[in-house]
Amino acid sequence: MNPNLTADRATFVTHLECSLTGERYEADQLHGLSRAGRPLLVRYDLDLVRASLPKRMLETRPTDLWRWRELLPVRHTANIVSLG
């Protein structure tokens, strides 16, 4: 498995899903398009997101992309990049 896909930080992603057929794919594997040739959608455990990321906490974070880090598809902290 690609070492960049090994989790060393929390994620709320449950799986990937074909945008046409609903077929499920593992989130920890690299994929292009689905078998149907359609984009894959990221699916999250939204109940866990609500319980773990209160709005007050998010409001106190910097106003950059990484405010939403738990919802971004970067699991290996070595791959986190900031442009400023």
The pair phi, psi for residue 9, each rounded to 5°, is -150, 160
The pair phi, psi for residue 69, each rounded to 5°, is -50, -35
pLDDT at 43: 94
pLDDT at 5: 41
- Give CA–CA dist 29/1, Å, rounded: 8
Is the per-residue pLDDT at 1 higher than 70? no
Which sequence spans correspond to the domains of the chain? 3-70
pLDDT digits (tens, 9 = 90+) for 3-47: 434 455 567 889 999 999 999 999 888 899 999 999 999 999 999
- Give CA–CA dist 6/11, Å, rounded: 11
Side-chain-side CA neighbours of residue 35 (13 Å): 5
